[in-house]
Amino acid sequence: MTPKETTIRKKSNIYMTNLSVIAVVVMVLVTIASVFVYRALIHSTVKLDSGGNRFFTYHIAMVTESQSDPFWKNVWLAASKEGAEMDAYVEWIGSSFTEQFPLAMQLEMAIDAKVDGILIQPDGSNEVKRLIATAIRQGIPVITVMSDAPDSGRQGFVGFNSYDLGQLYGQQVHVAMAQSPDQCHAVVLFGGDLSENTQNIIYSSMVESLEGTNVELDVLSIDNSNVFSAEEAIRELVVSSPSGGKAAPDVLICLNATNTICAYQAVVDHNKVGEIQILGYYDSDEILTAVEKRIIQATVAVDANRVGAASVDALMEYLQFSRTSDFTQVDLSVVTAGNVANYRQHITTAEETP
């Protein structure tokens, strides 16, 4: 046996044992790896009891007419975020219910649930006003958001100035009129979510702004208590023919996000783009896209994040120091095809900044 053969043989012998050792090591590694993979898989699927680990001192109820409006959804998200920072949990009453309850009933539930504070967009009804008073009597502070119930004894109001809103819409009608100077028929769509008082202020402000023009301003109040009524009413308005007594409007002024989207959809569906101009409300992605396409001429946006945060701030201020400012103003901004790109950029950066 030559030395070369010896080394080869020795090598093969060692090689065999090496292989078996490697096999064992690989087995161990694969086992450990699969254990980890399994753990990861199980953890990614078992998320049954998410949440419930954090407890808050305050329980705030947010009561709104509708639980599907994208604006209010963003308000709630912002309020929750702000509340979490201030040791308060914000519950959007009715959001978990399959059944849609009237605003008053929701408010009643919140009071009966003995929450620590209530954020509400009152609809101007007396019952709601009475219930707000009841809540305050029971020691539950109430902040009204976006629309006010001034004589209910509420602790504060967070929203825009209705007069300003009317002025803004008036200006936009002026712009819209530039395309059809002779005769203009504008319809203001009021939703049930605004109190009558607020509606009056907005309407008056608009009329004031349009004084001296040949604009015919009509008001259509859509009763939101009846589900889907908004969509039906708007569609009816859009398709109405001149021979049918009332001519289709040249300008549609929508005062909430749902109505804006309904109007936009109806105009597109009935091929009235260009004939009917829409002045919208709110800045959801859908609405902004429509602005970009010039289907919606302009939309008045309220920063939902700002609204949510400000209302929680106001309520928490009252809960902690027993006082808060009576009116917290939220700025309005008009978004048109000209500035929509900038606006988008602005809200994206705002969302990104914590």
Partner 1 sequence: MKLLPKLQRKFVNLPLRTKLVLVFAFTMLMVGFVNIYMQVSINSVVNTIDKVYASNISLNQLLDALDGVQDNMFRYLNTKSTSALNDYYVSEQSYSEQISILNDRATDNPLKITEKNIRSISDQYLQLTSAAVAAKRGRDVERYRSNYEDANRLYGYLNTYINELNNARFKTNAESYNTFRTSLGYMQTFSTVILFIAILGNMIILLLLSSTITKPLTKLARQAEQVGKGDFEVDFISVESRDEVGVLADAFNKMINSLKEHVSQIKTRMAEESRLKETQLRMESSLKESQLIFLQSQINPHFLYNTLNAGAQLAMMEGAEKTTLFVENLADFFRYSVKHAGQTSTLADEISQVETYLHIINVRFSGEIHYMKTVTGSIDRIAIPGVILQPIVENAINHGLRDVKWEKHIELTTRENGDHLRVTIFDNGKGMTQPEIEAILQGEPMLIEMEGQPHRGTGLKNVIERLRIYYGVQNVFEITSEGPGKGTSVSIILPKPNGHTLR
Q: Which residues here bind partner 1, judged by CB under 8 A?
A: 1, 6, 9-10, 13-14, 16-21, 23-24, 26-28, 30-31, 34-35, 37-39, 41-42, 45-59, 84, 88-89, 91, 96-99, 101, 108-109, 112-114, 116
Per the listing, tokens 């395309």 go with 179
Rounded Cα gap, residues 258 and 72, in angstroms = 11
Residue 273 to residues 168, 240, 254: CA-CA distances in angstroms?
23, 15, 16
Q: Using the minimum distance from each CB to partner 1, give the nearer residue, 19 or 227.
A: 19
Q: What is the nearest approach in angstroms of partner 1 to the Cβ of residue 145?
A: 20
Q: Using the minimum distance from each CB to partner 1, give the nearer residue, 40 or 247.
A: 40
Rounded Cα gap, residues 17 and 116, in angstroms = 73
Q: What is the nearest approach in angstroms of partner 1 to the Cβ of residue 108?
A: 8
Q: What is the nearest approach in angstroms of partner 1 to the Cβ of residue 19?
A: 5
Q: Using the minimum distance from each CB to partner 1, give the nearer residue, 10 or 294.
A: 10
What is the token pair recorded at 264?
């936009």
Cβ partners under 8 Å of residue 10, min gap 6: none
What is the token pair recorded at 121?
């967009």
Q: Using the minimum distance from each CB to partner 1, give the nearer residue, 115 or 237.
A: 115
Q: What is the nearest approach in angstroms of partner 1 to the Cβ of residue 203?
A: 36
DSSP state of 124: S
Q: Using the minimum distance from each CB to partner 1, give the nearer residue, 13 or 348.
A: 13
What is the token pair recorded at 151?
């004589």
Q: What is the nearest approach in angstroms of partner 1 to the Cβ of residue 244?
A: 43
Rounded Cα gap, residues 68 and 299, in angstroms = 19
Rounded Cα gap, residues 188 and 315, in angstroms = 32
- Closest of 119, 108, 102, 99 to residue 59, by C-alpha: 119
Q: Using the minimum distance from each CB to partner 1, give the nearer residue, 85 or 285.
A: 85
Q: What is the nearest approach in angstroms of partner 1 to the Cβ of residue 2?
A: 10
